[in-house]
């Protein structure tokens, strides 16, 4: 089969606000972990999830202030035991509370890897978390239909008509009961 | 002489809207042949029609003779059953029915579904014969629509059409001049006013499968995983480009159940898959199609 390349140019896209917000949330979570590690004089160990969750729980706005304070902590190197650290970041989405799990790997005192695992349950949050958590290349980006020249759209196989009516009927029954 | 197939014939059949593009209008007798082809296919292979072959198999075990055109479809099911270790099976019919996706679109769970029998344990297939040892509710929806698109396209080709598009609710066969490929947007699974990419295709088949529209309750949708006896939860949308619409349709369904590499062992195709976290995976050739 033949496929041509899209005539639309594929330049760099500007970073959406939602991504910045999520990015901030993760930096906060990472910063919070470092903040705790810096304060403790004990040997580094795996942070129990509950403890991490408690310390990172904050509305994004509050934590923004902390971020600059822990910025220094993040820069310090050499004092931290190699290992993998976990934390759960909590934030308020417009639809309700959501979580995102952050894992950091430390080697030779430097953070060598971070992963973010979305725990979102609300579709919109899933959307945003996916945008943040995915490898940049595997991010799904949407464009409005009128921004793109199209002959057709392929998505779900169009729903059978009877099916739609049946769903409407169920909704009616549910509303009445 | 190549012309763009600009004339479109729109019809409703097998519960979906078809758009058939040809160069110049189709004559009435050709339309009749196509309508009869679709009606016959449905009469025989539909899970929903009383008196269909499928319906009869659900009431009585025995040896059934399949129509000629069903051979490639059953062969494909057998191949995918083997390749996916049984995850892709015609026996999801009973699970769908139990969950409410039945002939009357009850859409309410009727009973808790149980693990379907292993296809090869209860059915012996040796074309044209299909012998069943117990009543079975077979569902060929995973590849049937795509197969029917191929059959309709075959009628157009037999009538001398070189350029055409046969589109049955997003499962399509495209035959266009290489200089004027069809631009098909890939619908955003959560927002139908957006697309997540554009596929340009001049010659080939494209099928899309998504669980957002045909869902009728908490997690209930029409792509069933027989291993969990429930609708799948990881992948939410797939698109496949392949040489036939039957194969593209089947693989678009199978990608909800197994990794692409499993299917790449025996099929040539391109794909795009989106999971619950809106992460997308794709075959290399599809990268330029995504935004």
* Chain segment A21-78, per-residue pLDDT in tens: 666 666 776 666 666 555 543 333 334 333 333 333 333 333 222 233 333 333 333 3
The CA–CA distances, whole Å, from B34 to B154, B156, B239 equal 10, 9, 26
Phi, psi of B202 (to 5 degrees): -100, -35
Q: Give the model's pLDDT for residue B73.
A: 97
When pLDDT is cut at 50, 70 and 90, the band that residue A15 belongs to is: low
Please report residues of B whose CB lies closer than 8 A to that of A171: none
Q: Residues B190, B277: contact at Cβ < 8 Å?
A: no
Please report residues of A whose CB lies closer than 8 A to that of B199: 3, 154
Q: Give the model's pLDDT for residue A11.
A: 39
Are A5 and B200 in contact (CB < 8 Å)?
yes
**Which of B171, B193, B203 lies closest to A1 in CB terms?**
B203
Please report residues of B whose CB lies closer than 8 A to that of A143: 194-196, 291
Tell me: pLDDT of A134 over 90.
no
Are B213 and A118 in contact (CB < 8 Å)?
no
What CA–CA distance (Å, rounded) separates A76 from B265? 49
Q: Is B45 helix (H, G, I), strand (E, B) or coil?
A: helix
Series of mean pLDDT values for 10-residue runs along chain B (291 residues): 78 91 93 96 90 93 95 97 93 78 71 85 95 92 94 97 94 95 92 90 94 60 75 86 97 93 95 88 90 89
Q: Residues B248, B206: contact at Cβ < 8 Å?
A: yes
Q: Give the model's pLDDT for residue A34.
A: 66
Cβ-count burial B100-137 (b if 16+ within 10 Å, e if not) = bbbeebebeeeeebeebbebeebbebeeeebebeeebb
Ramachandran quadrant class, B36 (left: phi over 0; alpha: psi -120 to 50; beta: rest): alpha
Q: Where are the beta strands (DSSP E) in chain B?
A: 7-13, 16-22, 62-65, 123-126, 129-132, 164-168, 171-175, 182-187, 194-201, 203-210, 215-217, 220-221, 224-225, 230-231, 235-242, 270-275, 280-282
Q: Is B33 helix (H, G, I), strand (E, B) or coil?
A: helix
Residue B125 corresponds to which tokens in the numbers above? 């297939």
ipTM reported for the complex surpasses 0.90: no
Tell me: pLDDT of A1 over 60.
no
The CA–CA distances, whole Å, from A154 to A4, B143, B189, B276 equal 18, 16, 10, 19
Please report residues of A whose CB lies closer than 8 A to that of B167: 152
**pLDDT-wise least confident of A1-10, A125-134, B24-33, B47-56:** A1-10
What CA–CA distance (Å, rounded) separates A129 from B264? 30
Chain-centroid distance of CA A92 in Å reads 13
Please report residues of A whose CB lies closer than 8 A to that of B205: 1
Please report residues of A whose CB lies closer than 8 A to that of B278: 126-127, 130-131, 134, 139-140
Q: Give the model's pLDDT for residue A63.
A: 28
Residue B272 or A97, more confident: B272
CA-based nearest residue to A1, from B1, B253, B206: B206
Helix (H) or strand (E) holding A168: helix A161-176
What CA–CA distance (Å, rounded) separates B259 from B169? 25
Q: Residues B226, B89: contact at Cβ < 8 Å?
A: yes
**Which of A134, A135, A144 lies closest to B193 in CB terms?**
A144
Q: Give the model's pLDDT for residue B96.
A: 77
**Which of A120, A148, A166 lies closest to B195 in CB terms?**
A148
Pairing of strands B182-187, A152-154: parallel
Q: Is B46 helix (H, G, I), strand (E, B) or coil?
A: coil
Residue A98 or B140, more confident: B140
**Which of B108, B270, B277 lies closest to A129 in CB terms?**
B277
Residue B226 corresponds to which tokens in the numbers above? 């027989």
Chain A residue with Cα closest to B177: A2
What CA–CA distance (Å, rounded) separates B177 from B199? 16
**Which of B183, B194, B270 lies closest to A144 in CB terms?**
B194
Q: Give the model's pLDDT for residue A142.
A: 84
Q: Give the model's pLDDT for residue A72.
A: 37
Residues paired with B95 in a beta bridge: none
Interface mutation vs chain B, best among A131, A142, A159, most B CBs within 10 Å:
A142
Q: Is A117 helix (H, G, I), strand (E, B) or coil?
A: strand
Is B113 in CB contact (< 8 Å) with chain A?
no
Residue A86 or A111, more confident: A86
Shortest Cα–Cα distance, B11 to chain A (Å): 13
Residue B202 corresponds to which tokens in the numbers above? 């001049």
The CA–CA distances, whole Å, from B214 to A121, B2, B108, B113, B197 equal 20, 38, 13, 19, 22
The CA–CA distances, whole Å, from B182 to B103, B178, B246 equal 35, 9, 19
pLDDT per residue as tens digits for the range A149-167? 888 888 764 444 545 555 5
What CA–CA distance (Å, rounded) separates A138 from B282? 8
Is B129 in CB contact (< 8 Å) with chain A?
no
When pLDDT is cut at 50, 70 and 90, the band that residue A89 belongs to is: low
Q: Give the model's pLDDT for residue B103.
A: 66
Q: Give the model's pLDDT for residue B170.
A: 86
């Amino acid at each position: 089969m033949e496929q041509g390349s899209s005539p639309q140019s594929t330049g760099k896209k500007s970073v959406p606000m939602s991504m910045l917000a999520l990015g901030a949330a993760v930096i906060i979570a990472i910063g919070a972990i470092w903040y705790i590690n810096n304060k403790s004089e004990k040997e580094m160990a795996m942070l129990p999830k509950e403890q991490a969750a408690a310390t990172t729980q904050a509305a994004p706005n509050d934590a923004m202030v902390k971020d600059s304070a822990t910025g220094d902590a993040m820069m310090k190197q050499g004092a931290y035991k190699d290992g993998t650290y976990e934390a759960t970041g909590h934030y308020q989405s417009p639809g309700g509370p959501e979580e995102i799990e952050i894992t950091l790997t430390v080697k030779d005192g430097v953070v060598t890897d971070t992963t973010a695992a979305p725990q979102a349950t609300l579709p919109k949050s899933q959307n945003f978390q996916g945008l943040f958590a995915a490898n940049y290349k595997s991010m799904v980006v949407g464009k409005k239909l009128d921004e793109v020249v199209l002959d057709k759209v392929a998505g779900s196989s169009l729903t059978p008509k009877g099916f739609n009516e049946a769903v409407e009927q169920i909704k009616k029954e549910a509303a009445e009961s | 002489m190549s012309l763009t197939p600009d004339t479109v014939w729109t019809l409703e059949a097998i519960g979906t809207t078809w758009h058939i593009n040809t160069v110049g209008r189709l004559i009435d007798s050709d339309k009749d042949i196509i309508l009869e082809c679709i009606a016959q296919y449905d009469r025989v292979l539909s899970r929903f029609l009383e008196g269909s072959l499928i319906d009869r198999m659900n009431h009585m075990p025995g040896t059934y003779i399949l129509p000629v055109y069903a051979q490639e479809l059953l062969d494909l099911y057998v191949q995918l059953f083997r390749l996916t270790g049984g995850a892709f099976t015609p026996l999801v019919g009973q699970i769908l029915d139990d969950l409410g996706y039945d002939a009357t679109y009850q859409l309410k769970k009727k009973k808790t579904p149980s693990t379907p029998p292993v296809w090869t344990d209860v059915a012996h297939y040796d074309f044209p014969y299909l012998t069943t040892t117990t009543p079975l509710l077979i569902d060929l929806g995973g590849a049937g629509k795509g197969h029917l698109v191929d059959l309709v396209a075959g009628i157009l080709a037999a009538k001398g059409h070189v350029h055409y598009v046969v589109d049955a609710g997003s499962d399509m066969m495209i035959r266009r001049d290489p200089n004027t490929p069809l631009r098909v947007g890939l619908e955003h699974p959560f927002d139908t006013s957006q697309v997540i990419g554009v596929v340009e295709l001049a010659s080939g088949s494209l099928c899309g499968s998504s669980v957002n529209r045909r869902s009728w309750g908490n997690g209930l949708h029409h792509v069933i995983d027989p291993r969990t006896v429930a609708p799948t939860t990881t992948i939410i949308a797939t698109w496949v480009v392949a040489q036939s619409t039957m194969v593209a349709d089947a693989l678009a369904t199978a990608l909800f159940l197994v990794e692409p590499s499993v299917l790449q062992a025996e099929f040539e195709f391109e794909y795009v898959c989106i999971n619950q976290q809106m992460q997308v995976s794709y075959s290399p050739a599809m990268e330029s199609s995504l935004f």
